[in-house]
């Protein structure tokens, strides 16, 4: 039997982040393929209720210590090291997120385990794991083989489906028995996102509307869709010029440069000035009535159709899914 797989669940303010489920789904798949047990580790106070939601793990471990709330990477790495030793874990999954940034490298330095970051694909093969890591902003992929399935993998957010990690079961939960050395870095407090207008450069999901949206009233429809997606609305310049949205929502050469995970371009032709501001988006889905619109040359997915018809259909489905 292969060595156990350990995943570090990520929590922010008592909530498990999506990445936790993305990693859990992946961990489950690898564990089954390798015939290894899967453990999940939740750090920080009040970990038990969170651990209970990680049903796909064979067991969930908690380390309920307030000093582990938003702990600095060194402290997290230290806790992980202890658990790895105790559990004899081979493969360790960590989120390649802002919250856990730095944990992988410090852990690697302390344990001598190889660390592969920004993993987008993972496959188990004969007692080993092959990881595909994204480099240079996604322009290059590198395959790395972790022999004996031992090593640390930083999992790229959004690369694996979170749904695959959700389950109604509750795993057996036990205390990990970690000794926490007081971190030199102290977490003081959360700073809430500033209220006021949204900063579209920081949004993960953007619903972008162009002249194809036709009237100001229809912008409201887009707002609704954005809310259902947990994102914000932005626009091409002509829409801003109309005064339908504030200048801070303009994407493009003379507006903002955005790189969201999803850019939903509704009724936008894809002029170079607009393209300049959103080309870095991870996934661009364009809806346009004109099959020859230049936006389709660069988008990842395209839909030839009426945005005004598409918006409510999608909104309804998203709402139905949630509620």
Partner 1 sequence: MNIFVLLRLAPDTVEELEIGGDGKSLDADILRFKPNDPDEHAVEEAVLLKEKHGGTVTVAALETPEVDDILYTALAKGADRAVKLTGDLGAAQSEAAARLLAGFLKAGGPALAPDTLILLRSQSIDDLEGEVGPYLAEALGLPYACVVTQVAPAGGAVKVTREFSGGLRGEFTLPLPAVLGIQSAEKPPRYVPIAKVRAAMKTARIETVDAGAVEQPARVGVERMYKPEAAGRAVMIEGAPEEVADKVVELLSKNSVI
Partner 2 sequence: MDPVKFSLFGLPGVALLWALALAAFAVFGWRIARLIGLLRQGRYENRFDRLPRRLGHFLKHVLLQPRLFNERSIGLPHFLIFWGFVVYALCFNWALIRGLAPFLPIPYPDEVPAVALFLDVFAVLVLVSLGVAVARRLFYAPPHLHLSFDANLILSLIGMLMVSTLVGGAARIVAEGGRSAAWTPFSGLLAGLFSGASRETAHHIVAAAWWVHMLTVLGFLVYLPFSKHLHLLASPFNVFFNASATRAVGDLGTPGAKEDLTAGASRWQELTWKQILGGFSCAECGRCDRSCPAAGSGYPLLPQQIIQKVKDHVVRHGLNGANGNGVPKLVGEVITPAELWACATCMACMNCCAVWNEQVSVIVALRRHLVSQGEVDRTVQDMLGNLQRYGNSFGKSDRMRARWAQASGLKIKDARKEPVDYLWFVGDYASYDPRCEEITRKTARVFARAGLDYGLLYEAERNAGNDVRRVGEEGLFEVLKEKNQQAFQKARFQRIVTTDPHTLNTLRHEYAWEGARPEVRHYTEVLDELLQGSKLPLRQKLSGRVTYHDPCYLGRYNGVYDAPRRILGALGLELVEMPRSRDKSYCCGAGGGRIWMEDAEKVQERPAESRVREAVALGGVSTLVVACPKDLAMFRDAVKTTGNEGRLAVKDIAELIDEATAEPEAKPA
Task: Say whether residue 177 binds partner 2 (CB under 8 A).
Answer: no
The interface partner of residue 98, options being partner 2, partner 1, ligand FAD, none and the CB cut-off 5 to 8 Å by kind, is partner 1
Q: Could you say which of 294, 306, 310, 318 contacts partner 2 (CB under 8 A)? A: 294
Provide φ and ψ at 173, rounded to 5°: -110, 130
Task: Say whether residue 126 binds partner 1 (CB under 8 A).
Answer: no
Q: What angle do CA 100, 105, 108 make, to 5 degrees?
A: 120
Task: Say whether residue 272 binds partner 2 (CB under 8 A).
Answer: yes
User: What would the DSSP string read from start to end of 38-62?
Assistant: EEEEEESTTHHHHHTT-TTSSEEEE
Element (H, E) at 143: strand 140-146
Q: Could you say which of 202, 215, 241, 247 contacts partner 1 (CB under 8 A)? A: 202
Element (H, E) at 31: helix 18-34
Q: Based on CB atoms, which residue is closest to partner 2, 171 or 252? A: 252
Take residue 212 and report the two structure tokens written for it: 């194809």
Q: Which of 20, 79, 19 is nearest to 53 (CA)?
A: 20
Task: Say whether residue 199 binds partner 2 (CB under 8 A).
Answer: no
Q: Distance between CA 70 and CA 52 in Å, rounded?
A: 20
Contact 304, 293 (CB under 8 A): no
Q: Based on CB atoms, which residue is closest to partner 1, 241 or 297? A: 297
Q: How far is the CB of 264 from partner 2 (least distance, A)?
A: 21
Stretch in the footprint of partner 2 (CB under 8 A) among 65-73, 182-190, 251-259, 314-322: 251-259
Task: Say whether residue 174 binds partner 2 (CB under 8 A).
Answer: no
Q: Could you say which of 14, 35, 141, 169 contacts partner 1 (CB under 8 A)? A: 141
Q: Which residues bind ligand FAD (CB under 6 A)?
A: 210-212, 236-238, 250-255, 267-269, 271, 273-274, 277, 287-290, 293, 306-308
Stretch in the footprint of partner 1 (CB under 8 A) among 55-63, 167-175, 250-258, 279-287: 279-287
Take residue 171 and report the two structure tokens written for it: 């795993």
Q: Based on CB atoms, which residue is closest to partner 2, 16 or 299? A: 299
Q: How far is the CB of 273 from partner 2 (least distance, A)?
A: 7
Contact 27, 129 (CB under 8 A): no
Q: Based on CB atoms, which residue is closest to partner 2, 117 or 236? A: 236
DSSP-derived secondary structure letter, 250: B
Contact 289, 304 (CB under 8 A): yes
Provide φ and ψ at 181, rounded to 5°: -90, 135
Name the site residues for partner 2 (rule: CB under 8 A): 211, 237-238, 241, 243, 247, 250, 253-255, 271-273, 294
């Amino acid at each position: 039997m292969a060595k156990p797989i350990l995943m570090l669940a990520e929590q922010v303010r008592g909530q498990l982040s999506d990445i936790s489920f993305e990693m859990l789904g992946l961990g489950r798949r690898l564990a089954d393929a390798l015939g290894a047990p899967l453990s999940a580790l939740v750090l920080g106070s009040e970990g038990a209720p969170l651990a209970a939601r990680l049903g796909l793990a064979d067991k969930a471990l908690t380390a309920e210590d307030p000093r582990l709330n938003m702990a600095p990477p060194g402290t997290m790495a230290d806790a992980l090291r202890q658990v790895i030793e105790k559990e004899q874990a081979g493969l360790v999954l960590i989120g390649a997120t802002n919250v856990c940034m730095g944990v992988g490298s410090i852990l690697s330095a302390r344990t001598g385990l190889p660390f592969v970051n920004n993993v987008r694909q993972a496959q188990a093969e004969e007692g080993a794991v092959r990881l595909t890591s994204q480099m240079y902003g996604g322009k290059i992929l590198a395959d790395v083989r972790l022999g004996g399935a031992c090593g640390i993998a930083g999992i790229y957010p959004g690369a694996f489906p979170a749904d695959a990690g959700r389950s109604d079961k509750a795993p057996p939960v036990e205390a990990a028995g970690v000794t926490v050395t007081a971190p030199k870095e102290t977490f003081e407090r959360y700073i809430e996102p500033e209220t006021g207008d949204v900063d579209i450069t920081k949004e993960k999901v953007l619903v972008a509307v162009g002249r194809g949206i036709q009237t100001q009233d229809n912008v409201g429809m887009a707002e609704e869709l954005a809310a259902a997606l947990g994102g914000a609305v932005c626009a091409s310049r002509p829409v801003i010029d109309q005064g339908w949205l504030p200048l801070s929502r303009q994407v493009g050469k003379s507006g903002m440069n955005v790189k969201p995970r999803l850019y939903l371009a509704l009724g936008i032709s894809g002029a170079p000035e607009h393209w300049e501001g959103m080309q870095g988006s991870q996934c661009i889905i364009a809806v346009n009535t004109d099959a020859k619109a230049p936006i389709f040359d660069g988008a990842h997915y395209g839909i030839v159709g009426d945005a005004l018809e598409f918006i409510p259909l999608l909104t309804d489905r998203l709402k139905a899914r949630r509620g």
